[in-house]
Amino acid sequence: MTMRRIDPVTHLLSGAADGEVMAFSEPLSFWGGFEPATGKILDVRHPRRGETVGGRILALPGTRGSGGTPAALAEAIRLGVGPAALILPEPDANLLTGALVSQALYGACCPIVVVSPDDFLSIKDGSWALIEAGGPVTIRAS
């Protein structure tokens, strides 16, 4: 088992989380390609179609689509079927808005961190991530 610490990290929304990493090769549309009531990916063209994001840490290269993303993400987090946290290679205003709304209205936190593009590409699907509030990200791969 190998462990890797990613630091520096930019915390768009600080908080602590740990869980299995779901690493995406393509952006995801949270509006139309995702079911907020179940956390399931619906987009028929997405390689992760049929999988659920609930409780996982998403290493997500970005989003596709509309300004409906914040509502879909906030609803999934509220229902407990959303991601535990998001790791991004660059800031995403729609994801941040959804997570902020969820935290403000429902008290449910979904930390969002931004890492360098090289660090982002090094995060593997199925690894385990620990996000420390205001601190580094630790990735454990078997």
Its domain, for residue 25, covers: 2-141
For 80-125, the pLDDT digits (tens) are 999 999 999 999 999 999 999 999 999 999 999 999 999 999 999 9
Residue 138 confidence (pLDDT) above 90: yes
Domain total of the chain: 1
What is the share, in percent, of the chain residues with pLDDT greater than 70? 100
- Shortest CA distance to 139 belongs to which of 123, 118, 126, 125? 123
**66 labelled catalytic:** yes
- Shortest CA distance to 119 belongs to which of 3, 9, 15? 9
According to DSSP, residue 30 is labeled T
- pTM of structure: 0.96
pLDDT at 69: 93
State the CATH number of the domain containing residue 53: 3.50.30.10
44-58: average pLDDT? 96
Q: Which of 66, 102, 116, 127 is catalytic?
A: 66
Q: Is 48 helix (H, G, I), strand (E, B) or coil?
A: coil
Residue 67 confidence (pLDDT) above 90: no
Q: In what order do the strands lie in the sheet with 2-6?
A: 2-6, 137-141, 128-131, 17-23, 57-59, 85-88, 112-114, 10-13
Sole residue written with tokens 């620990």? 130
pLDDT at 65: 75
